Amino acid sequence: MKKGKSITTYVLLVIGIIVLVNFLADRFFVRLDFTADKRYTLSEATRNILKSMKEPVTVTAYISEALPPDFARLRRDFKDELTEYSNRSGGKVLFEFINPNKDEQTEQKTMQEGIQPVLINVREKDQMKQQKAYMGAVVHYGDKKEVIPFIQPGAAMEYSLSTSIKKMTIENKPKLGFIQGHGEPNPNTMMQVVQALSVLYDVEDVKLSDSAFDPGKYKTLVWVAPKDSIPAVQFAKLDYFLSSGKNIYIAMNRVEGNFQNATGSVINTGLERWLLEKGLRVNPDFVIDMSCGSVMVNQQQGGMTFQTNMQFPYLPLLTKFPESPVTKGLTSVMLQFASSMEYSGINKDVTFTPIATSSDKAGTENAPLYFNIARNWQQKDFTRSKVVLAGVLSGRISGNASSRMLVVSDGDFPINGEGQQARQIPPDNLNFFVNGVDWLSDDTGLIDLRAKEVSSRPLDQMEDGKKAFIKYLNFLLPLILIVGYGFFRWQYRRNLRMKRMNENYI
């Protein structure tokens, strides 16, 4: 009888604990984040943005229901993310979820809000078919609205949400000046860059020759690929800009390659001499790298002409980067006809920090030169290691104020082009450029969010061996643990039984 009461008490206690845990879990959201990059923990930048909000933010998530498991998890993860935003903001972030597929009227409203459906593959009765799904959100702050047309899973959720809120809550955007007037590409030819920077900054054209140029207006000056000669008086304006503690981003071409006649030549604008006065020499050479991009080459065989994809070492593919906020999380950046750079250290008040280098198998070739596309490259052609391709000058570069200047020895990597020549630049090229400008210009910490976003690595980018190891580990580890626990209990009970059978056991 006593034993029966004890069992009943134990069962009621367990039920009471379960009810209490569910009650607390319903009212208090707690999430433990064991990911290496703290993907599911709100960053300091996001927390600061939430603290600075003067009005509530409403997030309306338009996410379809009854989706396959991979996409259904997106809805749950986004809800968890919004719950944490709400908790961190003291309830100032309000949210609701709407199923656009509920009826035709709701679907029309979703598309009017700026969220378009995407087609996803689903398996039904052993057949693959495409299903229309919505996975977007609209963020409202006062009378302002930002649309997130497609919600990326993982760390990108935080970046999308935080930048949308920041864009609406920021009162006075800092100004960026894109220097023009020396043959530079128009900002319209850098659509992706300008679009990304416009979230936090007002992007304007600047002419150093203009007498009305006011350096005090701009947080950072950006100079991309000048081609024409630059008067000395304009460099004096840049010195004044640096002396006031402002920063400059320079992506320059010291050499250029012409695919039409397969030649490479030197570019002299005067910018290289001005940098040399600061102790930074950008050499008139082409960096070659075994880790490189490729070009399409026409080849003939018999009476037929066909195209072949061939490695082209003059297009360095950077995959390893020195530790820097500018390159954190980047996987690969493609440069085009980059040059080597060296720092002489003539100014003790200035430090130089490399932020991008070649691979361990690289080299340089002096311009001018002829490109032999069909050249049979050998190991002996790559005799240099970690050639510096980009770096940062920090300190008293000009005057007594501390400033920074980021220099990349390729001016073409952020350019989309225009008209029929326009193309999408690789994602990490965009991140490399925008990260640099953010690091020079923005003190909110959103650069860490972008780095956090791009450091997310999908499984399909892993090596096959590592992928197989993780697959079988996930499958076998639970079985091994269960069998191990069963063996342990069997051994324990066997030893206990043997001990009881011992004639000296009391």
Predicted local distance difference test score (pLDDT) of residue 131: 80
Predicted local distance difference test score (pLDDT) of residue 445: 66
Coil, strand or helix at 330: coil
Predicted local distance difference test score (pLDDT) of residue 270: 97
CB 404 within 8 A of CB 418: no
* Equal CATH topology for 39-169 and 176-457: no
Coil, strand or helix at 372: coil
pLDDT tens digits for range 55-70? 999 999 999 987 777 7
May I ask the CATH architecture of the domain 176-457?
A: 3-Layer(aba) Sandwich (3.40)
Q: Render 12-55 in DSSP notation, one character per residue.
A: HHHHHHHHHHHHHHHH--------TT-TTS--HHHHHHHHT-SS
98 bridge partner residues: 62
Which amino acid, one-letter code, is at 441? S
Residues recorded for the chain: 506
pLDDT (tens digit, 0 to 9) for every residue of the chain, 506 residues total?
Answer: 545 556 677 667 767 777 776 666 555 555 555 555 555 678 888 888 888 888 999 999 999 987 777 777 888 889 988 999 999 898 999 999 999 988 899 999 999 999 998 888 777 666 777 788 899 999 999 889 999 998 876 557 888 888 889 888 887 888 999 999 999 999 889 999 998 898 889 999 999 999 888 888 999 999 999 999 999 999 999 999 999 999 999 999 999 999 888 899 999 999 999 999 999 999 999 999 999 998 877 666 666 666 778 889 999 999 989 888 899 888 999 999 999 999 998 888 999 999 999 999 999 999 999 998 888 899 999 999 999 999 999 999 998 999 999 999 999 999 998 877 788 999 999 999 999 999 999 766 666 666 665 544 444 445 566 667 776 677 677 778 887 777 887 888 888 777 777 655 55
Average pLDDT, the chain: 85
Strands of 263-266's sheet, edge to edge?
Answer: 255-258, 263-266, 369-370
Burial class (CB in 10 A: 0-12, 13-18, 19+), 398: buried
User: In the structure encoding, which two tokens stand for residue 390, read together?
Assistant: 């980009």
Predicted local distance difference test score (pLDDT) of residue 457: 47
Predicted local distance difference test score (pLDDT) of residue 456: 46
User: What is the spatial distance between Cα 330 and Cα 428, in angstroms, rounded to a whole number?
Assistant: 6
Sign of the four-CA dihedral 251, 257, 258, 259: negative
pLDDT tens digits for range 399-438? 899 999 999 999 999 999 887 778 899 999 999 999 999 9
Residues 6+ apart with CB under 8 A from 291: 316, 317, 318, 319, 358, 359, 361
Q: Is the pTM of this model over 0.85?
A: no
User: What is the spatial distance between Cα 91 and Cα 320, in angstroms, rounded to a whole number?
Assistant: 42
Domain spans of the chain, in order of start: 1-30, 39-169, 176-457, 464-506
Pick the CATH number of 39-169 from 1.10.260.30, 3.40.50.280, 3.40.50.1370, 3.40.30.10: 3.40.30.10
